[in-house]
A and B are shown apart, each in its own frame.
Chain A
Amino acid sequence: MSREPDERRFASGWVTLGVAGAVVAAVLGAGVLVQRAALPSPSAATLAGLHAGVWLERYRLVDSTITLDGSVVRGRCLQDWFVSGGQRRRGAVLRLDDGYVLLAVPPHTLTATGGAPAIRSVSPLVLMELAGCPRVLARRLQTLAQQHRGLTLRGDTLTFRLKATRVTLTLDPQTHAPTGVELVARGTHGVSQIRFTPVTTRLRELLSVSHG
């Protein structure tokens, strides 16, 4: 008989806890439901663009095999720090196996040396895109993804425009990492296979250029 008040208190404690839990669950559930019902989700193309951009941002070195207007060259594009105009700036160096070297350090440096005349006649931007230079492609992909426009996903290919070029990235079906680039610009059509490579100190020294 003396245990009755204790039992009642115990039972009422469970009621309190149960109701509190139900209220918390209701707020949690209602919150998720309202957001799911009211807010749009990003499109598959936007998400694919974002993921491709993340892959490109993750690596600083990309190896490529470029087929441009019938000729095949191998390239390596490295994103790095360069001294330009007395200041350290971020930029990219692209080296092709025919001796072509392109140095792009925004905002003022864009120099190209060596290489076959056919390659030298191609716009530096086209070569950088085909070589999969990560920052150029990543920036554009992230901007378009954030604006939720300008990206078209068909199967495993993602198409977008970058200045006067139309770029189609081939994405790995599992990881969504870019594995190939197809580019169409006025009078130019090129394709490439790209592969992300971890940077080592030796590779960095090998690829880097000195620039005043």
Chain B
Amino acid sequence: MATLEHAGSIPLGLRRADEASSTRLRALAWIAGWWLLGRGVIVLAAVGVHTFGPAGWIRRVEHSSVLGPLEAWDTRWYRMVAGSGYLLVPGRQSDPAFFPLFPVLMRGLHAAGLGYSTSGLVIANAAFFVALAAFYALTKAMLGDSMARRSVAYLAVFPFGFAFSMVYPESIVLALIALAALAAIRGRWGWAAACAGAAALARPEGLFVALPLAVLAWEQRHALSPRARGVAIGAVLAPVAAIGSFSLYLWQVLGNPMAWSQSQRAWGRELSPFGLVNAIGGLGRAFAHDAWVTRDVAAVVVYLVLLAAAARAGVSWPWLLSGLAIVVLPLFTGSFDSIDRFGLLAPAAFWGLAALGRDPRVNRLILGLSVPLLAAAIVVLPLRFP
């Protein structure tokens, strides 16, 4: 059926494949640009902190190298797990509070000759590029290209996103959450199970990807074979199984399957129905103890506003609910601490921001504010007790 016109030219299928691959490459280059901008700001700010201070709570060891400020706060815990494994010391802050996937990866790279902290930095920053790419693909599949572009740009320079470049597992978890949902949308439930399980093995917030996965599985139920339905159900349950595997491991090693939950108590975190009331009631005391709690309270407000914007923009309820769980559930431990970081794992918040950014003036405002705030977050990092 080939015509003269087609003779000697590239077959249509191949040409389409070529176009698709060049579009994909262009998108990846564009994502890499945003990744470079955001990470560049952070690295420059870290170099500034290293050179000019302030020293604050950052110890000498973290000031000794140029990127040392990015190894502050909880890095030592992940380094301890990667180097020596888990140990629960009753009544003391202990490392089972830190989930195992990130230290396992750090240990893997360490075996290749890198130090634990350097391994953590390499993994976190590389995983953030994967997270941006996966988040772009997921958002494009759900909400279209322009929302995807804005979401990725805002995520890359989001002021609280400095944690994506520190020795923290947030970038891995976000990448795995996005990949799990993307795989589910494409009907690749085996991959969805692997990514969802791995996300929960890196941070407990990974558990909440189960909700969007459950709804996707339900929507696809008629199109799936009985076997594929089984894999889909398995994917929904995979995060719970992964957390179970952590408990099982701790039981074998320390004789205490709930060590990861118990060790949180030494940080003053314990889930309770009255936790939210205690967190709000204790704000005055928390503020007197450490005024930086203001930033955490502001983070909660910002995330809730963004989730409301996402709801108005028509983001589906399972994503909204999982975002709400990520932001609000930690408050039930009686503390506002670290919610700026936890909220990074709520994709719906960034969809809400992208929806607000439809207005070009708001878009300019968001980008114009985010970049200096991101740099400022690194500069003031030593002033905050971890």
Please report which residues of chain A, range 137-192, place their CB below 8 angstroms from some CB of chain B when the two chains form the complex.
Answer: 142, 145-146, 148
How many A-B pairs with Cβ below 8 Å? 131
CA distance A110 to B314 in the complex (A): 68
B277 at the interface (CB under 8 A from A): no
Tell me the smallest distance from the CB of B93 to a CB of chain A, in Å: 9
Interface 1/0s, chain B 96-129, versus A by CB < 8 A? 0000100110011000000000000000000000
Question: A34 in the interface, Cβ–Cβ < 8 Å?
Answer: yes
Residue numbers in B under 8 Å from A148 (CB-CB): 80, 83-84, 87
Contact (Cβ within 8 A) A38 B108? yes
Closest residue of chain A to B81, judged by CB?
A39
In the bound complex, do residue A24 and residue B241 qualify as a contact, i.e. CB atoms below 8 Å apart? yes
Interface extent on A, as a size class? 35 or more
Q: Cβ of B89 < 8 Å from any Cβ of A? A: yes
**Shortest CB–CB separation between residue B253 and chain A, in angstroms?**
5
Residues of A within 8 Å of B91, CB to CB, are: 57
CB distance from B77 to the nearest CB of A (A): 11
CB 8 Å contact bits of A35-64 with B (1 = contact, 0 = none) = 110111110001000100110010000000
The answer to whether A39 touches B85, judged by C-beta atoms less than 8 angstroms apart, is yes
Q: Is B230 an interface residue (CB 8 A)?
A: yes
Is B234 an interface residue when CB atoms closer than 8 A count as contact?
yes
Which of B83, B87, B197 is the one whose CB lies under 8 Å from A27? B197
A25 to B253, CA, bound (A): 20
How far is B190's CA from A42's CA once the two chains are assembled, in angstroms? Answer: 34
Task: Report the minimal beta-carbon distance from B233 to chain A, rounded to whole angstroms.
Answer: 4
Within 54-106 of A, Cβ neighbours of B (below 8 Å) are at: 54, 57
A111 at the interface (CB under 8 A from B): no
Residue A13 lies at the interface, judged by CB distance under 8 Å to chain B: yes
Partner of B234, one of A23, A29, A50, A146: A23
Instruction: Please tell me if the beta carbons of B104 and A19 are within 8 angstroms of each other in the complex.
Output: no
Cβ-defined contact, A31 with B246, below 8 A: yes
Contact with B along A10-33 (1 / 0, CB 8 A): 001101111111111111111110
Residues of chain A within 8 A (CB-CB) of B227 are 15-16, 19
Chain B residues near A50: list those with CB within 8 A.
87, 89
Give the CA-CA distance A175 to B258 in the complex, in Å: 22
How many B residues have CB within 8 A of the partner chain?
Answer: 44
> Nearest Cβ distance between residue A130 and chain B, in whole angstroms?
25
With contacts A23-B235, A54-B90 known, is A16 near B230, CB below 8 A?
yes
Chain A residue contacts of B163, Cβ below 8 A: none
What is the minimal beta-carbon distance from B237 to any residue of chain A, in angstroms?
Answer: 5
Secondary structure of the B contact surface, majority rule:
helix
Q: Distance (Å) between the CB of A66 and the closest chain B CB? A: 28
Indicate if B231 sits at the interface (CB-CB under 8 A).
Answer: yes
Say which residue of B80, B231, B245, B253 sits within 8 Å of A31 (CB atoms): B245
A1–B360 CA distance with the chains assembled, in angstroms: 65
Interface residues of A, dominant DSSP: helix
Asked if B373 is an interface residue, CB under 8 A from chain A, the answer is: no
A24 to B190, CA, bound (A): 11
Known: A23-B193, A27-B242. A39 touches B90 (CB 8 A): no
Q: Is the CB of B249 within 8 A of A31?
A: yes
Please, which residues of chain B bring their CB within 8 A of the CB of A12? 226
Residues of B within 8 A of A16 (CB): 226-227, 229-230, 233
Q: A23-B193, A27-B197, A36-B249 are in contact. Are A42 and B230 (CB under 8 A)?
A: no
Complex-state Cα separation, A34 to B104, whole angstroms? 8
Instruction: Tell me the bound Cα distance from A29 to B87 in angstroms.
Output: 22
In whole angstroms, what is the CA distance A159 to B331 when docked?
43
Q: Do the beta carbons of A145 and B89 come within 8 Å of each other?
A: yes
* B9 / chain A contacts, CB cutoff of 8 Å: none
Q: Is the CB of A18 within 8 A of B230?
A: yes
B318 at the interface (CB under 8 A from A): no
In whole Å, how far is A138's beta carbon from the nearest beta carbon of chain B? 10
User: Is A53 a contact of B248 with CB atoms below 8 Å?
Assistant: no
Contact between chains at A27 and B234 (CB < 8 Å): yes
Does B73 count as interface, using CB distance less than 8 angstroms? no
B154 interfacial contact with A, CB 8 Å? no
Quote the shortest CB–CB distance from A4 to chain B (angstroms). Answer: 16
Per a CB cutoff under 8 Å, which of A13, A19, A39, A142 touches B107? A39
Q: Are A13 and B100 in contact (CB under 8 A)?
A: no
Q: Flag if B237 contacts A35 (CB, 8 Å).
A: no
Min C-beta distance of B110 to chain A, whole Å: 11
Q: Are B193 and A146 in contact (CB under 8 A)?
A: no
The answer, yes or no, to whether B201 is at the interface (CB within 8 Å) is yes
Chain A: CB-nearest residue to B93: A146
When chains A and B are docked, how far (Å) is the Cα of A35 from the Cα of B91? 25
Query: With A18-B230, A38-B104, A148-B87 given, is the CB distance from A27 to B193 under 8 Å?
Result: yes
* 15 extra interface residue pairs, beta carbon distance < 8 Å, beyond A15-B226, A19-B234: A15-B227, A16-B229, A19-B227, A19-B230, A23-B233, A24-B234, A25-B241, A26-B193, A27-B238, A27-B242, A27-B245, A29-B245, A38-B107, A146-B89, A148-B84
* 9 A-B pairs with the lowest CB-CB distances in the bound complex, closest first: A23-B234, A19-B230, A31-B245, A12-B226, A20-B233, A27-B241, A148-B84, A27-B197, A40-B85
- Sample of 26 A–B contacts (CB below 8 Å): A16-B230, A19-B226, A19-B229, A19-B231, A19-B233, A20-B231, A23-B190, A23-B238, A24-B234, A24-B238, A24-B240, A26-B193, A26-B234, A27-B194, A32-B252, A35-B245, A35-B246, A38-B108, A39-B104, A42-B254, A50-B87, A57-B90, A146-B80, A146-B87, A146-B94, A148-B84
